[in-house]
Amino acid sequence: MNPTETPSDPGAQTELHRRIQAAIVEAGGAIPFERFMELALYEPGLGYYERTPENVGKKGDFYTSVSVGPLFGELLAFHLLPTLESLVQTGPVEIVEAGAHDGRLTADLLGALDRFSPTLSGVVTARIVEPSPIRRRWQESRLAPFTDRVRWSDGLPHRFRGVLVCNELLDAFPVERWRWRSTHGRWTKQGVAAGTRGFHWVDLPDPAPEAWIPEPALAAVLPDGFARERCPAAAIWWSCASEALEEGRLLTSDYGHADASLPDPTRPEGTLRGYRKHRHVEDPLADAGEVDLTAHVDFAEVRRAGEAAGLSTLHDGAQSGFLVGVMKETLVAPDRFGVWDAARVRAFQTLTHPQHLGRAFRTLEQSRTV
């Protein structure tokens, strides 16, 4: 354990804690942090994202762009409208959402498309990628007005034409956590063990990625215990989505780095964070299942995964810049988008202002044409 870290105190033993402890025992005394994060967030019926649809928004633990209101979905729908209208000329078209939580973004997208282009309502369908029966029930309730146009699948479709959107999905993929051990001159993978005082960090023997071997000059100045994360699962998932896309676009918005190939000196503890009631939780091992766990996305790695699958990158940058561009598109077509009233302006400011959601969010949009 790093001397600066203290064990978490799980308090009263919950069923989720017992399952995590059982996994630790089965693994011989420790599990990689990414396994802990997977159990804490997604264990069926017990994990954080299985508990309630109300953990997002003002009364929950964190905000998303969708929490601001329908404007985010309206802007995405307006931006994607030309692509959808072109694709329907030659065959079936789907809007695919992964990480839909309670289905609000898909509802906002479909509602906006019905207003902007009523002819699409009968030919564009929606698919929610959702392996959780609990979250699927939340989504079915939210999407009841569109029940004849929405279907669900446990995983990504094998092939589809249309658009895939995901908002704050990739930052919730379980991440590997690593610390620099200056006495050994190497990155050491972090695991989680259980003791009488709760869950605590331990070092694992896994070898670090070869690309992380630092130059001697960097190794000499890296502080002992410097932390960083790695999430190969996010790039793999994006690669699968890219391969499945026959024609259309993929679009994701999330917290993230432009490029995480080097350690970030401004983040000696990495980007792993826990959130509860909109406050930062100091110990990400505490209160498993009650706290949102998240880490920044390496957008460069995700972008390269899409490009390796043959996609072209249309945007890779701040979400605020992306949305400002879409807003300008709406101004030349007011008959379609409608009036920028006071409510829309306030929501747009929240989405783009650096003191609100415009500071840390990035958007990646990629496409395939035939």
- pLDDT for 213-235, tens place per residue? 999 999 999 999 999 999 999 99
Pairwise CA distance, residues 338 & 60, whole Å: 31
Pairwise CA distance, residues 297 & 54, whole Å: 24
Q: Where are the domains of the chain?
A: 53-172+232-260+296-368
Tokens, residue 128: 């929610």
Beta carbons of 294 and 273 less than 8 angstroms apart = yes
Residue 68 C-beta-side C-alpha neighbours within 13 Å: 22
Would you give the end-to-end CA distance of the chain in angstroms?
53
Summarize the confidence of residues 291-307 as an average pLDDT. Answer: 97
Predicted confidence (pLDDT) per residue in 326-345, tens digit: 999 999 999 999 999 999 99
Predicted confidence (pLDDT) per residue in 47-83, tens digit: 999 988 887 766 666 778 999 999 999 999 999 999 9
Pairwise CA distance, residues 64 & 72, whole Å: 10
Q: Taking 50 as the threshold, does the pLDDT of residue 15 lie above it?
A: yes
Closest CA to 194 of 12, 13, 24: 24
- CATH number assigned to the domain with residue range 53-172+232-260+296-368, chosen from the 4 options 1.10.760.10, 3.30.70.141, 3.40.50.300, 3.40.50.12710: 3.40.50.12710
Q: Taking 50 as the threshold, does the pLDDT of residue 4 lie above it?
A: no
> What pLDDT sits at residue 1?
40
Q: Taking 60 as the threshold, does the pLDDT of residue 168 lie above it?
A: yes
CB atoms within 10 A of CB 282: 11
Ramachandran angles phi, psi of 105, nearest 5°? -65, -45
CA distances from 200 to 4, 174, 313 (A): 12, 17, 41
pLDDT band, residue 188 (cuts 50/70/90): very high
SS3 63: coil
> What pLDDT sits at residue 57?
67
Summarize the confidence of residues 259-287 as an average pLDDT. Answer: 91
Beta carbons of 176 and 189 less than 8 angstroms apart = yes
> What pLDDT sits at residue 13?
56
Summarize the confidence of residues 297-319 as an average pLDDT. Answer: 97
Q: Is the pTM of this model over 0.85?
A: yes
Q: Taking 70 as the threshold, does the pLDDT of residue 3 lie above it?
A: no
Q: Taking 80 as the threshold, does the pLDDT of residue 205 lie above it?
A: yes
Tell the residue number behind the tokens 């896994």, with chain if given.
Answer: 206
pLDDT band, residue 282 (cuts 50/70/90): confident
